[in-house]
Amino acid sequence: MRILLIEDSAELALWLVSLLREQGFEVDHVTDGGAADTLLRQTRYEVVLLDLNIPGLTGKGVLRRLRERGDDAPLIVLTASDSLDQKVQCLEIGADDYIVKPVESRELVARIKAIVRRRLPGKSNDIACGDLRYDLNTRQFSLAGQALPLPPRERALLEAMMLKVGTTVPKQALIDSLFGMGDDSASADAIDLYIHRLRRKLEPSQAAIITLRGVGYLLRTRDER
């Protein structure tokens, strides 16, 4: 799951990036509104964490442009201001949540998971594709009731498809989910390799990864037609 952090405080950003990566998230970090707007036009993020008081284009400007483009990426405002008027304005522009700094680590992670959960069918912490299950709280997989341990990149890839189970996910979206900015290993060939490894591990399961050439990949149960 890939997160964009837009925060100009070096000390706070360092703490947040470290916290989120310890939780298994892929995190990109930018410090100003212009860079954030450019990146959001190029890359799809599962969650955006946005400070309002940033250099260049304001946080509200970043949010407004994002929504005007029709991008519905979940966005949490992180700000030192507890002004009710500002909170209402941000939510009206299109923020999904508003958190006043300083933020407690467990609360932030819980809010991120809650936002992702609200986008899921049934809004449950537990997602299933046949006998393959994913627990959003622990971010762990199980297969036929047994834990399915996966290396970080394979887990991130399967997570991206599980969050869109039954829906085709473009290859570029999978690249965006797996690799951070400046990661030289990011490529379509790398995705193909991880897909191959996951298919081997899912062979005994009811879940299957289907290739739709020129479109992307689809996670579904084997008996679907």
* Cβ–Cβ under 8 Å, residues 50 and 65: no
Whole-Å CA distances, 56 to 33, 82, 156, 170: 5, 22, 33, 32
Strand order through the sheet with 132-135:
126-129, 132-135, 140-143, 146-147
Same topology between domain 2-118 and domain 124-221: no
Per-residue confidence (pLDDT) for residue 224, from 0 to 100: 62
Q: Which pair of tokens denotes residue 117?
A: 């959960």
The CATH code of the domain at 2-118 is: 3.40.50.2300
Per-residue model confidence (pLDDT) at position 122: 58
Two tokens at 26? 């892929």
| Residue 217 dihedral angles phi and psi, to the nearest 5° | -130, 150
How many CA atoms does the CB half-sphere of 213 hold within 13 Å? 0
Q: Which helix (H) or strand (E) holds 122?
A: none
Pairing assessment for the beta strands 146-147 and 207-212 based on DSSP bridges: unpaired
Q: Are 109 and 136 in contact (CB under 8 A)?
A: no
H/E stretch holding 138 reads none
Say which amino acid occupies 124: S
Indicate the SS3 state at residue 116: helix
Query: Any idea where the domains of the chain sit in the sequence?
Result: 2-118, 124-221
What order do you get walking across the sheet with 26-30 strand by strand? 26-30, 2-6, 47-51, 75-79, 97-100
CB 13 within 8 A of CB 187: no
Q: Return the pLDDT at 182.
A: 64
The whole-angstrom separation of Cα 94 and Cα 73 is 10
Cα 201 to Cα 109: distance, rounded to the nearest angstrom: 29
**Could you tell me how far CA 121 lies from the centroid of its own chain?**
16
**pTM score, two decimals?**
0.75
Three-state DSSP at 61 gives: helix
Q: How far apart are CA 43 and CA 38, in angstroms?
A: 9
Question: What's the topology of domain 124-221?
Answer: Arc Repressor Mutant, subunit A (1.10.10)
Q: What is the pLDDT along the chain (225 residues), one digit of tens a residue?
A: 889 999 999 999 999 999 998 888 889 999 999 999 999 998 889 899 999 999 999 999 999 999 999 998 999 999 998 899 999 999 999 999 999 998 899 899 999 988 888 877 655 678 899 999 999 888 899 999 999 999 988 998 999 899 888 889 998 888 888 877 667 667 888 899 999 999 999 998 999 999 998 889 999 998 764
CA distance 225 to 222: 8
Which residues partner with 97 through β-bridges? 76
